[in-house]
A and B are shown apart, each in its own frame.
Chain A
Amino acid sequence: MKRDHRGIEDVLRQSRPPEVPQMAPALARVWNRLGADRGTEGDAPMVVRDAARRSRHSAVWTTAAAAALVIVAVGGAMVWPRGVRVYAAGADGLEVTLTDDSRVEMRAHAEMAVDRASDGILIDLKTGDIIVTVAKQRDGQLSVRTKDMTVALSAVAHAAKADGTIALVNAAEDGSRVAVIQGEARVREGASDTRVRPGEQVSTSATLAARPVKEEIAWSRNGGALLTILESFTRGIAATVGPLEPLRPAPGALHVQAQADRNAAGASPREFEEAAVRECDPDNLPPTPTGARGGGPNSFQMTPGRLYALCMTPAVMIRVAYGFRALPEGSLSSDTRRAQGWRLNEVSGQGANAGIAVRGAPDWARNDRYSVEAVAAADTDGDTMSGPMFRSLLERRFKLKTHVATEGVPAWTLTVSPGGLKIKPMAPGGCEENPPVPPGTKTRPPRTLEEVRGGAKPTCGIWWGGAERPRGGAERPNGGNAVWLAGGGTIEDIVSMIRRQLNGADVVDKTGVTGQFNFILEVDAGDRAIVSAVTDQLGLRLAETRASREYLVIDSIEKPGPN
């Protein structure tokens, strides 16, 4: 019997380090460094210094303490003293956190200065590479200026992403270059203004060769995760997909004629030039990197001119190609279509389940996995590759025939009850903002249900069960009930809560109510308990109606032959 099968508690106790080596001197060094940087070295209770560590840490601080105009920093991260120029010495580069929580990672030997601009923060990049991660919740703009261009970086990259735009900016003797990893950048070079999206690069000089983004970020310590996913995916594709073969025209003059017509009309071709489709060995699937959603089986990626599907089930491929969302079983949402396409250069984990929007597939199409690699013209955009071109490939190789059908699903309208609202608009300052916390630590838990019921102001935001988990978090029942605690909640927040309780069903807001409210909503475990709860507790009324939604029916599909 292996050790793992013994009580895990025994394992945990056995794994306890018997002693913590050198704790006292380490703490002394920490205290000294804290004191040294505040000019109070005499306060240090213990004076034990380690030469190696001092050279790594304190050299930076001593230099800072000297308040020199140029800081030479070795291997670390800094909270930025604005207006001071920094040079990343040593081989490890430097991480800088700006006052608005945006982060700049400097490659070794990069040099820059940070200063205030009329519209936000301006990074003046003298030389070298930096990767800028713009804080999502920030005021103003963050710009990077080199000698021949200015890059404005957007704070908003994607609703689901924690950070704003992430971009690499390089300043060299010959010119400058910007590559966007996430989000969007606007590059101003002289009178021209160019928008750069993820995976794209712009340079000011033809002598600067474009390189793949993964090569560009290889030096970054934070690029590791992205690189790992990227590498894992690439290896998986290499291990599972077959050789590329030219796609023959589909039989039938109509198709050929239609293709010719599109080409003659100048429309972008809707067929991949080459493709490979091969079944994956179910006993030898490529692994998913630890902690990542993408990079393993059922991952999908596009790069300029290429589309990859790594060991995906045909049903999931069909969902991706036809632009449907992965709605779970039981969902009543009428919104079955994806609002956005897939971005280039991002590896996305698609999951093994095609969801309820794709129906009629035989079992093998939901269980067997195939890897796909397809090649198109380099300038083909992602929406075209993942949409019409991928559909065409599936139709060709899997003999796929489909049609779109509609069905009715329950929906609700929300109005104010005849008796009027039972919640009152929140007074200014009626909720308590969570205080800022040091980076890397968790937000302080919000006011609990008991505290708020006892008269305390609720913490601003929508909280499940009155503690710990912000919006989108898991439900925390209160004696079997679901409880929401709102500080400054809006009617949109209420609609969102109701939708969650009603399996994603559409809820149309016809209340005409605006403003913010503090309220507690407690709902018991019944299927539609939310309906009576909002009436009794909030003074709102839910009336059932119907909505229609689309789904895709697979009429026929065949296992693909060899390439």
Chain B
Amino acid sequence: MSPVVAFTVTNEPLSEELATLFREHSRLVYRTAYYVTRSTEDAEDVTQGVFLHLVRRGVPPGLRDNPKGYLYRAAVNLSLTAVKSRERRALAEQAQTEWSDTSVRPASSTTDLQERLASVIPALNPKAVEMLVLRYEHDFTEVEIGRLLGTSRAVVAVTLFRARARLKKLLRIASGEQS
């Protein structure tokens, strides 16, 4: 079951501002969601969720200051929620299986590695995920990331460094190695 959001019906037209926001940022939102969720359906739902909140609640003041950063953060957070929700459902379905069935198999190919990476990214701090996706999916520099997220380059560098270290550790655990 994917997250879908419906809302109180009104007859106001979609505002020009929303149309502009959608036109300029929906690709960033979708691509970010796809990077985190690795699912086209979830990416579509996340994109829908992000803009639907704007439709229903109007454009918040914080968004006008930095629309790209606002929508990007919203996309990452909704994506993480979608992934965690998906994992919970999967775990619940596995609940009756034996220990051996729940163990993680070691990596043997690039696809495995990608899958494992995708599976451990949600375990990171959302702020770290925001920076990680900007850095490695959207090819932002640390300065650009800092500008978008309203923080300093040093904070970005430290957060990325820690995120990479944590990812390494999580990947080791996921591949069954002793740390």
Are B47 and A27 in contact (CB-based, < 8 A)?
Answer: yes
Flag whether A8 is at the interface (Cβ < 8 A): yes
Q: Which A residues lie at the B interface, using CB under 8 A?
A: 2-4, 8-9, 11-17, 20-23, 26-27, 29-31, 33-35, 37-40, 43, 45, 53, 56-57, 60-61, 64-65, 67, 73, 75-79, 81, 92-93, 95, 218, 221-225, 227-228, 231, 235, 239, 286, 289-291, 435-442, 444-445, 467-468
Which of A73, A218, A224, A441 has its CB near the most chain B CB atoms (within 10 A)?
Answer: A441
Are A79 and B8 in contact (CB-based, < 8 A)?
Answer: yes
Bound complex: CA of A78 vs CA of B132, how far in Å?
31
Are A43 and B14 in contact (CB-based, < 8 A)?
Answer: yes
Which residues of chain A have C-beta atoms less than 8 A from B1's C-beta?
75-76, 92-93, 221
Are B13 and A40 in contact (CB-based, < 8 A)?
Answer: yes
Bound complex: CA of A33 vs CA of B22, how far in Å?
13
Tell me how far the C-beta of A32 lies from the nearest C-beta in chain B, rounded to whole angstroms: 10
Are B30 and A239 in contact (CB-based, < 8 A)?
Answer: no
Flag whether B117 is at the interface (Cβ < 8 A): yes
> Which of A57, A92, A93, A224 touches B92 (beta carbons < 8 Å)?
A224
Q: How many A-B residue pairs have CB under 8 A?
A: 207
Flag whether B143 is at the interface (Cβ < 8 A): no
- 22 A-B interface contacts by CB (under 8 A): A2-B177, A8-B167, A16-B35, A26-B44, A29-B44, A30-B26, A30-B44, A34-B48, A37-B7, A39-B13, A40-B13, A64-B9, A76-B1, A77-B6, A78-B7, A81-B7, A223-B92, A227-B91, A228-B95, A235-B99, A436-B60, A439-B53
Are B14 and A76 in contact (CB-based, < 8 A)?
Answer: no
> Which of A13, A38, A235 touches B10 (beta carbons < 8 Å)?
A38
Flag whether B52 is at the interface (Cβ < 8 A): yes
Are B62 and A444 in contact (CB-based, < 8 A)?
Answer: yes
Which residues of chain B have C-beta atoms less than 8 A from A11's C-beta?
113, 117, 167, 171
Are A16 and B2 in contact (CB-based, < 8 A)?
Answer: no
Are B136 and A9 in contact (CB-based, < 8 A)?
Answer: yes
Interface majority SS on B: helix, strand, loop or mixed? Answer: helix
> Which of B9, B56, B77 touches A67 (beta carbons < 8 Å)?
B9
Interface majority SS on A: helix, strand, loop or mixed? Answer: mixed
What 0/1 pattern do residues 142 to 179 of B give for CB contact below 8 A with A? 00000000110000000000001001100110010100
Tell me how far the C-beta of B151 lies from the nearest C-beta in chain A, rounded to whole angstroms: 8
Which residues of chain A have C-beta atoms less than 8 A from B54's C-beta?
438
Bound complex: CA of A412 vs CA of B85, how far in Å?
47
Are A440 and B74 in contact (CB-based, < 8 A)?
Answer: yes
Are B9 and A228 in contact (CB-based, < 8 A)?
Answer: no
Query: Which 5 A/B pairs are nearest by Cβ-Cβ distance?
Result: A224-B88, A76-B4, A438-B53, A224-B92, A92-B1
Bound complex: CA of A218 vs CA of B175, how far in Å?
30
What 0/1 pattern do residues 41 to 55 of B give for CB contact below 8 A with A? 101100111111111
Which residues of chain B have C-beta atoms less than 8 A from A239's C-beta?
99
Bound complex: CA of A40 vs CA of B11, how far in Å?
8
Bound complex: CA of A188 vs CA of B14, how far in Å?
46
Which residues of chain B have C-beta atoms less than 8 A from A79's C-beta?
5-8, 56
Tell me how far the C-beta of A428 lies from the nearest C-beta in chain B, rounded to whole angstroms: 21
Bound complex: CA of A187 vs CA of B8, how far in Å?
31
Bound complex: CA of A93 vs CA of B1, how far in Å?
9
Which of A12, A65, A75 has its CB near the most chain B CB atoms (within 10 A)?
Answer: A12
Are B10 and A53 in contact (CB-based, < 8 A)?
Answer: no
Are A17 and B81 in contact (CB-based, < 8 A)?
Answer: no
Tell me how far the C-beta of B24 lies from the nearest C-beta in chain A, rounded to whole angstroms: 12
Tell me how far the C-beta of B160 lies from the nearest C-beta in chain A, rounded to whole angstroms: 9
Which residues of chain A have C-beta atoms less than 8 A from B137's C-beta?
16
Which residues of chain B have C-beta atoms less than 8 A from A445's C-beta?
150
Tell me how far the C-beta of B34 lies from the nearest C-beta in chain A, rounded to whole angstroms: 5
Which residues of chain B have C-beta atoms less than 8 A from A21's C-beta?
40
Tell me how far the C-beta of B103 lies from the nearest C-beta in chain A, rounded to whole angstroms: 8
Bound complex: CA of A289 vs CA of B173, how far in Å?
12
Which residues of chain B have C-beta atoms less than 8 A from A33's C-beta?
48
What 0/1 pattern do residues 86 to 105 of B give for CB contact below 8 A with A? 01110110011001000000
Bound complex: CA of A301 vs CA of B81, how far in Å?
27
Are A441 and B73 in contact (CB-based, < 8 A)?
Answer: yes
> Which of A9, A27, A81, A440 touches B26 (beta carbons < 8 Å)?
A27
Which of A20, A53, A60, A291 has its CB near the most chain B CB atoms (within 10 A)?
Answer: A20
